[in-house]
Amino acid sequence: MSMLMKILSFIENNYKKFLIISILIFAVFVGIILFNYFKYGYIINKSITISGGYITLINNNYHITNSEIQNVLNQMNITDYVLYNTPNIIYIESEKQINETLLINLLNQDYNIKLSPTDISIQQYSSLVGNLIFNQFLFFVILTMILTSFVIFIAFRASKITLNIISTILFDVIGLLAILSITKYPIGANGFIGMLMILGFAIDNNVVLSTNIVKEKDKPFIERVRMSFRVGMLMEVIALYTLLLLYFIVPEPSVDEFAFVLSIAIILDLLYYLIGNIPLYKYFETKKEQES
């Protein structure tokens, strides 16, 4: 027996325990979200592009270090900011606009460089647009669950499949929000795009699994799961590998944000596939056999 079959067989034989584990993990995720919401007043840390504010971009042709930027910002009495960089650009996120003339003068004076006004640009973001993106994201998640449930129910005539897909979407989204809430990773528009993409992974995997379980009834349960497992897992593992390469190789904040969010979501989807989807289908099948 291969390692894959041993793992799937272990899950099949202990499906009730895995169901309980998945429910407990989901409850922990919900608890984390509620705790942070009531303690801090928000669930996730939105970046300036969502919450509103300014991003100051400095062309780093003079190889200015982060510590040098921090020293200058301290002299300007600016304490509430986020600083990060790429090989060529330094980014400063702040709620209030930074005096670029003073910033240039202090950097030139303290570190004997020759920054000019053309080396600095400031981008302003409105909180109205950010709130619109966040609200549309929540609306889209709810709409996706409703439409997907309707289509799947019509296609398979089985409420258990609909329940499985909804539980997957909830686990992935709630789990992702909980992890982002703990890490306080600042999320912008690209992060929300990554969140929306995980809905596709969750639905695709469940459709493949559901098709094999419902349509291939002449085969043992474990064999039906194995058939769908290889297809679904291969797709997600390849996607995860690509995203990790993007995160560690491409020095671009927007790409890093997208890759980070979608990588976490795919890992959660892989986890729930094993401890939630398979045990839940096994539970429904066992219950049906007992009733008949």
State the total domains in the chain: 2
Answer yes or no: do 192 and 284 share one domain: yes
Answer yes or no: do 62 and 21 share one domain: no
**Could you count the other beta carbons within 10 Å of the beta carbon of residue 99?**
13
The rounded mean pLDDT for the chain is 84
CATH code of residue 233: 1.20.1640.10
Alpha helices in 44-126 (DSSP H): 48-51, 66-75, 100-111
Contact partners, residue 60, CB within 8 Å, separation at least 6 = 85, 87, 88, 89, 90
Taking only the tens place, the pLDDT of each residue in 41-53 is: 888 888 887 778 8
**Residue in the block written with tokens 């079959």:** 5
* Domain containing residue 188: 3-47+128-291
Identify the domain boundary among 103, 125, 147: 125
Answer yes or no: do 38 and 72 share one domain: no
Answer yes or no: do 244 and 137 share one domain: yes
Give the whole-number percent of the chain exceeding pLDDT 90. 18
Alpha helices in the chain (DSSP H): 3-13, 15-40, 48-51, 66-75, 100-111, 127-156, 159-183, 189-215, 221-249, 253-272, 278-291
The pLDDT score that the predictor gives to residue 222 is 84
Amino acid at 58: I
Answer yes or no: do 177 and 85 share one domain: no
Confidence of residue 156 (pLDDT cuts 50, 70, 90): low
**Residue in the block written with tokens 């309707």:** 150
pLDDT above 70: residue 155: no
Answer yes or no: do 187 and 92 share one domain: no
CB–CB of 203/232 below 8 Å?
no
CB–CB of 64/90 below 8 Å?
yes
CATH code of residue 99: 3.30.70
Identify the domain boundary among 125, 145, 167: 125
Identify the domain boundary among 99, 125, 151: 125
Answer yes or no: do 42 and 74 share one domain: no
Consecutive H or E run containing 124: strand 120-125
Distance CA 159, CA 165 (A): 10
Taking only the tens place, the pLDDT of each residue in 62-77 is: 888 888 889 989 998 8
Confidence of residue 117 (pLDDT cuts 50, 70, 90): confident
Answer yes or no: do 192 and 109 share one domain: no
pLDDT above 70: residue 95: yes
Answer yes or no: do 29 and 96 share one domain: no
Amino acid at 190: N
CB–CB of 104/122 below 8 Å?
no
Taking only the tens place, the pLDDT of each residue in 205-234 is: 777 777 777 777 778 888 888 877 777 778
Answer yes or no: do 269 and 134 share one domain: yes
Answer yes or no: do 189 and 205 share one domain: yes
Answer yes or no: do 161 and 233 share one domain: yes
